[in-house]
Amino acid sequence: MRHDVFRVLRLWRGHAGWLTAGVAMAVLSALSGVALLVLAARVISGAVAQGSGAPVLVVGFGITALLWLRPVMLFRPVARYLERLVTHEATFRALAQTRVWFFGRLAQRLPAGLGLRRAGDLLGRLVADVEALDGLYLRVIVPAAAALAVVVTMALVVGAASPGLAAILALPLAAALVLPMLLAPAAARAGAEVAEAQGALRSAVVEPLTGLEDTLAANGEARAAARVAAEGATLAAAQTRLARRAAWGGAMGSLLTQVALLGCLAWALASRDHAVATGLLAVFLAFAAAEALSLMPRAGAALAAAGAAAHRLFEAADTPEPVPDPSAPAPLPKGHALRLSGVTFAWAPDRPAVFDGLDLDVPEGARIALLGPSGAGKSTLAALLLKFAAPQSGSITLGGIDIATLAAADLRRRVAWLTQDARLFDDSIAANLRLAAPEATEAELWRALDRAQIGDLIRSLPEGLETQCGEGGTRFSGGQGRRLALARTLLSPASVLILDEPAAGLDADTERAFLATLDEAMAGRSVILILHRLIGVERPTRILRLVGGRAIPATG
């Protein structure tokens, strides 16, 4: 747990200024509370001393304290306000950066779907686990720093009058400060169970809802509901175990502060009468410390939760990258001829090889029709060409340069892929299209839509290019969504296009019309057309069939 927590702190290094300022404000605010109680104790001792005819010095202390009381009383709420402001700004900045960092790590690691965890669970990690990290700062570091400052100041103030009393007061309070931190690693295990159960519950809810039509069509509603109930019960049991631990921690902390308070009362009663002022001061300070320390049991629970959340985040973020970028990537070559030589590839060591010595040439401007039965490896070939996966042996070159030496982002500027199940995102048509070409003008968007045979339909919509697609493109039919995704790929400036079943979901006439216009749409680019069958209008420069992990010439 400690390792994960320190790693989070290292991740937040860039915000050290804000984070430190927040801690400083919290310490100031807590110390102003201590000052208030010290002054109050002095005023009361002064008043008692005046009544009992005590030395003028003690009475004088009381009057001076009275003068200081008002500015400190005014300062405290201001310090509190600034503390909240600064600590929340610091948390906001640190968490925003953590979310982006984590998203980036996932995006590098999951493109090929290997090791992809349940969608709901991942969503939970990105949102809830990152959110739990705010506890590390707001509920652990900030209150612990403030409580430490209070205990140390209290020991120094009381110690100046009586070192013995300072020890009676400070030792149990120091124990109350440290105890929740010592208990946190054990609580982190309970916290991990809670986080795991939350992830499972989220998956149980998100999965049947994202595939709601399939769930309902299979009459799976009751089964899905039963799974949600079962995961909910597991979560409740894990939360009870965590709450029980937190309750024990809270009780112990409160016991220790009582011990400190009783200790100084006993000291005051047992000592001679001149020590009344010191005793009173100690009692007041014990109250101040009790207030600061009352947050510590919650800090222990928050530390446990943040430790568990950090562990889950790093576990997902540290999944090995399927194809790490080279440390010094080569510049993109000028040409875009593709060549695969002796490529062997299996998705996992225990899975059969998809390719076994695959050779394939795609000269510049070629149009290769790649056929093959389901599962032959057509999409796998596309994954290799975009570096979502890397061959175990053999080489793939682009313009004569091994793609292993290129940065993936550079390569993907040259090679674009219309995947078999290309998604539309919950945004406007224009925004969906501009994913492939952020700078594209409206005229270019319309040209791509026309080439994909969907321009007329979009023109007929009242909001035109600003029409919202809905999540996953649900506001369009399957075939319409396919054509929009195709338009997006056509917009890409890449010089090699891999079109995986580009006409899937189109009716026979539209399919024929689209494939017949490929010439215009592809002008000058190389195209790998992945198809189940040829309909005779594609005019490929070569037809290849994937069989037994190799590409062999076919006649159509």
Q: Which residues bind ligand ATP (CB under 6 A)?
A: 112-114, 347, 351, 354, 372, 374-380, 420
* Nearer to ligand ATP among residue 164 and residue 375 (C-beta): 375
* Nearer to ligand ATP among residue 21 and residue 547 (C-beta): 547
HSE of 384, CA atoms in CB hemisphere, 13 A? 28
**Smallest gap from residue 516 Cβ to ligand ATP (A):** 23
* Nearer to ligand ATP among residue 354 and residue 543 (C-beta): 354
Please state, as a whole number, how many other Cβ atoms lie within 10 Å of the Cβ of residue 305. Answer: 27
Nearest of 493, 491, 489, 492 to residue 501 by alpha carbon: 489
* Nearer to ligand ATP among residue 296 and residue 376 (C-beta): 376
* Nearer to ligand ATP among residue 75 and residue 347 (C-beta): 347
**Smallest gap from residue 447 Cβ to ligand ATP (A):** 29
Name the phi and psi angles at 548, rounded to 5.
55, 35
**Smallest gap from residue 546 Cβ to ligand ATP (A):** 7
Could you tell me the CA-to-CA distances from 119 to 197, 207, 366 in Å, in that order?
14, 7, 39
DSSP β-bridge partners for residue 340: 360, 396
Nearest of 306, 310, 308, 316 to residue 190 by alpha carbon: 308
DSSP state for residue 532 in the 8-state scheme = S
* Nearer to ligand ATP among residue 72 and residue 503 (C-beta): 503
* Nearer to ligand ATP among residue 23 and residue 110 (C-beta): 110
DSSP state for residue 332 in the 8-state scheme = P
**Smallest gap from residue 117 Cβ to ligand ATP (A):** 14
Q: Which residues of 167-186 are buried (b: 16+ CB within 10 A; e: fewer)?
A: ebbbbbbbbbbebbeebbee
Nearest of 496, 258, 480 to residue 396 by alpha carbon: 496
**Smallest gap from residue 113 Cβ to ligand ATP (A):** 4
- How many angstroms separate the CA atoms of 290 and 148, rounded? 12
* Nearer to ligand ATP among residue 119 and residue 212 (C-beta): 119
**Smallest gap from residue 501 Cβ to ligand ATP (A):** 8
- How many angstroms separate the CA atoms of 103 and 97, rounded? 10
Residue 270, burial from CB neighbour count under 10 angstroms (0-12, 13-18, 19+): exposed
DSSP state for residue 271 in the 8-state scheme = S
**Smallest gap from residue 552 Cβ to ligand ATP (A):** 15
Could you tell me the CA-to-CA distances from 428 to 355, 431, 453, 465, 471 in Å, in that order?
39, 5, 18, 7, 11
DSSP β-bridge partners for residue 545: 371, 552
Does residue 498 come out as left (phi exceeding 0), alpha (psi in the -120 to 50 range) or beta?
Answer: beta
* Nearer to ligand ATP among residue 12 and residue 388 (C-beta): 388
Could you tell me the CA-to-CA distances from 416 to 19, 483, 492 in Å, in that order?
43, 16, 7
At residue 80's C-alpha, the angle toward residues 10 and 147, to 5°, is 60
**Smallest gap from residue 294 Cβ to ligand ATP (A):** 52
* Nearer to ligand ATP among residue 129 and residue 501 (C-beta): 501
**Smallest gap from residue 373 Cβ to ligand ATP (A):** 7
* Nearer to ligand ATP among residue 234 and residue 379 (C-beta): 379
Contact 109, 322 (CB under 8 A): yes
**Smallest gap from residue 533 Cβ to ligand ATP (A):** 11
**Smallest gap from residue 355 Cβ to ligand ATP (A):** 9
**Smallest gap from residue 345 Cβ to ligand ATP (A):** 9
Which single residue is written with the structure tokens 């050779």? Answer: 359
Lateral strand order in the sheet of 550-553: 415-418, 496-500, 526-530, 367-371, 542-547, 550-553
* Nearer to ligand ATP among residue 351 and residue 533 (C-beta): 351
* Nearer to ligand ATP among residue 112 and residue 155 (C-beta): 112
HSE of 239, CA atoms in CB hemisphere, 13 A? 8
**Smallest gap from residue 505 Cβ to ligand ATP (A):** 14
The single-letter code of the amino acid at 263 is G
Could you tell me the CA-to-CA distances from 39 to 75, 152, 287 in Å, in that order?
14, 18, 14
DSSP β-bridge partners for residue 497: 416, 527
At residue 398's C-alpha, the angle toward residues 397 and 402, to 5°, is 40
**Smallest gap from residue 379 Cβ to ligand ATP (A):** 3
* Nearer to ligand ATP among residue 350 and residue 456 (C-beta): 350
